[in-house]
Structure 1
């Protein structure tokens, strides 16, 4: 198994190729971007930001790291690995893979651990600098980048796989950076995902809005899979981590969060829908 950092990067200001030298990356126009001391590359210019600190906070990233590293979503990661590594006969033994909204890097690390017969060139992209920082601290092999799915700092047609796991897909950008025939693996919460927790923190549940069933322009549907299993959380700390890593922490009322904080044990349903879409050019 070989894990290499993905190098076909593009300048976020003009789209031209970036060339790395030491701890700095430059485009032909002279725009330069430094690698942080912790090992991640910041490719989100201030003029592309919508806030001073976009994305997940340091606290949300820490909660996600604790929860995921404990293995609670391991079945989801295994299904993602299988979806990524199921190659067609004309694909090479080397895959370039982007995790678009990588968080603290859990799913890329799991993929790297399972890809024994495939060389991977990997990049994790997240708009949160705290996520990129946490990812870089845990594994130095991938290319960890602070950037946006709306302006992916990657050269056109250079990726074989894109992961968008519980994230915000930008299909025009995904189509631009994927090779023809490349795959987008998308993970979305199913209608019963964490239902038991949601019943506690909300006064009533609204019907879940499922993603569109039709393939977006430029893609064709390959297949879908549902990963569903019960998960028992056996401490207030684990329940708090789960809540803190989801949008429900900010959507719930103060009363709802207080009810969750009083729980010592909770069994929830994990239901994740995996969709594989192929870029048709």
Structure 2
């Protein structure tokens, strides 16, 4: 176990249904199995992260299998590079656990952690996926010891790059998923006068070197309600006019592209 106290940064040891550090700070395990390591002074808002309504819409969309190719791609890369006994892996910004569960299946010998700032998301994840250790915590202050993680997966999630460098051990991996150039371009056509392709992410993580990059591009056929759910999951939702939502909901079929870049980095 590599968890550390979010208040004093000392190791957390599990005692029955609680986690305690030597300074006496205690964090009780919820009945669903997760632990809340987000102190009030680090929350930033009353209920940070996605709302329960957004999470339910995302779970319904993901359960329909539209992002299954991405799920399989992520799990396959991890199995190839982190298949050793006892690897510790973190799904950063895990949401309701859809991808985390696939990682656990692909790496049965690993210890899987799922972290999200949204308590509602972690509660949903912990209730469904018992093989994973879930925690409510901030991606800006990872509750993991220095050089304790063999890998971190970042699927669209915000992060603190210094924290990634601190927590990932030498030789460990960071797997990122970012939008490919054509990702959901059909939604853009409904919202913007001119459709601009996603610019390639020219990202460099200090202390890491890029060892692999794969493009995953496929077409999806969605029902109107599924298209609405997907739009709710995207940044485009804030710019969509009411008529866009109404037209999507009333449509019998909506075709759009999924386009992802999966990039693997290795810690120096």
Tell me the TM-score normalized by structure 1.
Answer: 0.90
What is aligned with 1:28?
Answer: 22
CA contact (8 A) 1:202 1:253 kept: no
What is aligned with 2:104?
Answer: 112
Alignment of 1:176-187 (within 5 A): 176-187=166-177
CA contact (8 A) 1:200 1:260 kept: no
| Residue 121 of structure 1, aligned match among 111, 119, 127 | 111
CA contact (8 A) 1:219 1:278 kept: yes
| Residue 267 of structure 2, aligned match among 248, 254, 279 | 279
CA contact (8 A) 1:101 1:125 kept: yes
Aligned equivalents of 2:266, 2:67: Cα separation in 1 = 25
1:267 and 2:261 are equivalent in the alignment: no
What is aligned with 2:70?
Answer: 76
What is aligned with 1:3?
Answer: none
Tell me the TM-score normalized by structure 2.
Answer: 0.94
Alignment of 1:130-149 (within 5 A): 130-149=120-139
| Residue 179 of structure 2, aligned match among 171, 186, 189 | 189
| Residue 148 of structure 2, aligned match among 158, 172, 197 | 158
Shift of 1:262: 3.0
SS in 2 for 1:155: coil
What is aligned with 2:211?
Answer: 222
Tell me which of the two structures has the higher relative contact order, counting C-alpha pairs closer than 8 angstroms and 6 or more residues apart. 1
Aligned equivalents of 1:59, 1:205: Cα separation in 2 = 29
Structure 2: stretches of 5+ with no match in the other structure? none
Alignment of 1:51-90 (within 5 A): 51-87=45-81
Shift of 1:66: 0.9
Aligned equivalents of 1:85, 1:138: Cα separation in 2 = 22
What is aligned with 1:96?
Answer: 88
**C-alpha RMSD of matched pairs (Å):** 1.7
